[in-house]
């Protein structure tokens, strides 16, 4: 029987048998990549980011003083913009987060000196002057070249308020709101499509039950109108990590009235919100516990997708993982409400693992947003005055951007275990895709802190001759980039892959993220 004549699933299964997917030694792995007629597209929107009015993300992150000597457009600092353009950020979520359900959009438009100040009750009771509002955010998105993803206020806002914000954003005819937009300097609508109907409505967004929220979604979304050239992608508040009942109720009561259902899950090193663990000081036992908690994302995405499949077998409703990343204790000496944390090699491995999971579930996961982009939680950029650095996590997004809008290649891997004490995890995590030119990209993570892994790979139904790669690694999982030394954890050329017959053999170093290109 010719493998090429089988459907992709049967071909992959046959290869799995003939290739004998069983590790022969602790540091050996076998991988099969099926290139036969790939169908599923990995949406570029999986690689989205999140900017909340929280700590130093907006103010002192993107938005600087009008007297700053930095290169800027209005008050948007352009070094951050250029960094985000380089990694092809596809969408940016704003204004929250918990902040979204206390934000009233009219306070952030018009003459800045006349905008009312507000207290940010979620994040430190700081007073904000609302100088960064709708126009400023959408200008930021325009400079980055990304789509805006706006979260509307359900918790403390009204149906009318949300409806009129969407009219202000998207209506091109004659109306009081479009006239007001023009008076404020914007002639044409922005045609925003990604729109969240509330945020964390089970918690800071109103402490609602799923039954109550599903009714609120139906009501609010009725008046969240589509306008010409701006068909809304309405995103409902989804579950808090493993709340499968919330997903069940929303799928049953809302169904395809929503474009997407959100999912929030943070990797907490200790597993406890009370004492999360340090971003920079941890031993191998805590490192292993963190990676174990990170891998829970696979279970969450799989099980929530199964619930969604029950009501939506054609997978028309997207799973939108619009808050994810590692959450540690804040850095010593910083405001505990500002959620400022350093970013280590461990965090880069977490980013690679999560993105591989989202890629491999691309039939259901259509968008995701790392929390958060500047100076908050698992940031890709840190700023200090006029200085800026790129974190290890930034470099993972730079390496993985090759997957955006490429076709998912199904994989099957038999990985050796990473063992600490009496616990173990699969050491290697992989996803693969083929872009529009035919090039194949394979992203691999080896979380093992002690052992390299040799991976023998069979690639079905794809002809290739050359392999090149990039690698992100460092000596220790605690290694970080600092303002004094910005290049501790940066990508290097990877030379540990070669062609042997028809197979690809990869020697994957410990604590590494590798992206290969086959042509």
For the question of residue 200 being annotated catalytic, the response is: yes
Q: Same domain for 70 and 11?
A: no
* pLDDT score of 16: 46
Catalytic-role residue among 114, 183, 200, 299: 200
Q: Same domain for 367 and 431?
A: no
SS3 label, residue 171: coil
Going from the C-alpha of 231 to that of each of 195, 227, 268, 369, the distances in angstroms are 10, 6, 37, 21
Nearest to 373 by CA among 399, 349, 351: 351
Q: Same domain for 358 and 496?
A: no
Q: How confident is the model at residue 227 (pLDDT cuts 50, 70, 90)?
A: very high
Catalytic-role residue among 102, 147, 167, 323: 323
pLDDT (average), residues 417-445 = 97
Nearest to 126 by CA among 335, 332, 328, 273: 335
Q: Same domain for 466 and 337?
A: no
CATH number at residue 290: 3.20.20.80
Whether residue 21 is predicted with pLDDT greater than 70 in this model: the reply is no
> Which residue range is the domain that position 186 belongs to?
44-405
Task: Decide which of 373, 405, 437 is a domain's last residue.
Answer: 405
Q: Same domain for 389 and 422?
A: no
Q: How confident is the model at residue 37 (pLDDT cuts 50, 70, 90)?
A: confident
SS3 label, residue 405: coil
Q: Over pLDDT 90: what percentage of the chain?
A: 94
List the single range of 24-28, 113-117, 422-426, 500-504 with lowest mean pLDDT: 24-28
Q: Same domain for 290 and 274?
A: yes
pLDDT (average), residues 497-517 = 96
* pLDDT score of 1: 32
Task: Decide which of 375, 405, 435 is a domain's last residue.
Answer: 405
Q: Same domain for 29 and 49?
A: no
Q: How confident is the model at residue 468 (pLDDT cuts 50, 70, 90)?
A: very high
SS3 label, residue 507: strand
Q: Same domain for 400 and 503?
A: no
Q: Same domain for 222 and 290?
A: yes
Give CA–CA dist 394/411, Å, rounded.
25
pLDDT in tens, 347-402: 999 999 999 999 999 999 999 999 999 999 999 999 999 999 999 999 999 999 99
Q: For the beta carbon of residue 63, count every other beta carbon within 10 angstroms.
A: 24
Q: Over pLDDT 70: what percentage of the chain?
A: 95
Q: Same domain for 375 and 475?
A: no
pLDDT in tens, 76-121: 999 999 999 999 999 999 999 999 999 999 999 999 999 999 999 9
Whether residue 14 is predicted with pLDDT greater than 70 in this model: the reply is no
Q: Are 457 and 505 in contact (CB under 8 A)?
A: yes
pLDDT in tens, 111-166: 999 999 999 999 999 999 999 999 999 999 999 999 999 999 999 999 999 999 99
* pLDDT score of 451: 96
Nearest to 504 by CA among 456, 434, 445, 440: 456
* pLDDT score of 151: 98
Q: Same domain for 8 and 149?
A: no
pLDDT (average), residues 485-499 = 97
Q: Same domain for 419 and 378?
A: no
How many alpha carbons fall within 13 Å on the CB side of residue 268? 11
* pLDDT score of 26: 60
CATH number at residue 18: 2.60.40.1180
pLDDT in tens, 299-354: 999 999 999 999 999 999 999 999 999 999 999 999 999 999 999 999 999 999 99
Task: Decide which of 388, 405, 422 is a domain's last residue.
Answer: 405
DSSP 52-101: -SSTTSTBTTTB--TT--S-EETTEEHHHHHHHHHTT--EEEES-SGGGG
For the question of residue 323 being annotated catalytic, the response is: yes
The count of structural domains within the chain is 2
Q: How confident is the model at residue 412 (pLDDT cuts 50, 70, 90)?
A: very high
């Amino acid at each position: 029987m010719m493998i090429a004549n089988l459907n992709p699933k049967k071909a992959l299964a046959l290869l799995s048998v003939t290739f004998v997917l069983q590790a022969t030694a602790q540091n050996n792995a076998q991988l099969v990549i099926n290139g036969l007629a790939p169908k599923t597209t990995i949406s570029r929107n999986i690689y989205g980011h999140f900017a909340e009015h929280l700590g130093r993300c907006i103010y002192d992150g993107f938005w600087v003083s009008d007297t700053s000597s930095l290169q800027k457009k209005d008050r948007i600092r352009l070094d951050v913009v250029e960094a985000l353009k380089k990694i092809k950020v596809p969408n940016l979520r704003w204004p929250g987060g918990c902040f979204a359900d206390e934000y009233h959009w009219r306070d952030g438009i018009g003459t800045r000196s006349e905008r009312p100040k507000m207290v940010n009750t979620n994040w430190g009771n700081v007073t904000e002057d609302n100088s960064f509002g709708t126009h400023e955010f959408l200008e930021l998105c325009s400079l980055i070249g990304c789509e805006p993803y706006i979260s509307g206020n359900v918790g403390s806002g009204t149906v009318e308020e949300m409806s009129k914000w969407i009219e202000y954003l998207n209506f091109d005819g004659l109306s009081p709101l479009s006239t007001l937009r023009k008076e404020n300097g914007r002639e044409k609508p922005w045609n925003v499509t990604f729109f969240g109907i509330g945020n964390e409505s089970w918690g800071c967004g109103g402490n609602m039950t799923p039954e109550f929220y599903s009714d609120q979604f139906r009501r609010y979304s009725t008046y969240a109108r589509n306008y010409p050239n701006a068909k809304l992608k309405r995103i409902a508040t989804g579950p808090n990590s493993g709340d499968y009942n919330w997903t069940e109720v929303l799928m049953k009561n809302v169904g395809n009235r929503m474009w997407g259902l959100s999912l929030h899950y943070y990797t907490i090193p200790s597993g406890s919100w009370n004492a999360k663990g340090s971003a920079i000081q941890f031993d191998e036992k805590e490192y292993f516990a963190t990676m174990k908690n990170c891998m829970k994302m696979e279970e969450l995405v799989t099980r929530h997708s199964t619930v969604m499949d029950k009501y939506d077998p054609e997978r028309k409703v997207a799973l939108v993982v619009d808050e994810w990343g590692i959450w540690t204790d804040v850095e010593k000496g910083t405001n505990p409400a500002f959620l400022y944390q350093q970013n280590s090699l461990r965090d880069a491995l977490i980013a690679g693992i999560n993105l591989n999971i989202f890629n491999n579930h691309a039939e259901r996961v259509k968008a995701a947003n790392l929390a958060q982009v500047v100076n908050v939680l698992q940031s890709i950029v840190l700023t200090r005055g006029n200085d800026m650095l790129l974190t290890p996590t930034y470099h993972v997004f730079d390496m993985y951007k090759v997957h955006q809008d490429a076709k998912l290649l199904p994989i099957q891997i038999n990985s050796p275990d990473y063992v600490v004490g009496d616990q173990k995890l699969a050491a290697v995590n992989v996803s693969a895709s083929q872009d529009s030119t035919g090039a194949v990209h394979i992203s691999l993570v080896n979380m093992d802190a002690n052992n390299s892994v040799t991976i023998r790979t069979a690639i079905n139904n794809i002809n290739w001759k050359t392999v090149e790669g990039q690698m992100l690694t460092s000596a220790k999982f605690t290694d970080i980039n600092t303002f004094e030394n910005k290049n501790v954890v940066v990508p290097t050329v990877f030379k540990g892959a070669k062609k042997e017959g028809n197979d690809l053999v990869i020697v994957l170093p410990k604590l590494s993220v590798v992206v290969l290109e086959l042509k």
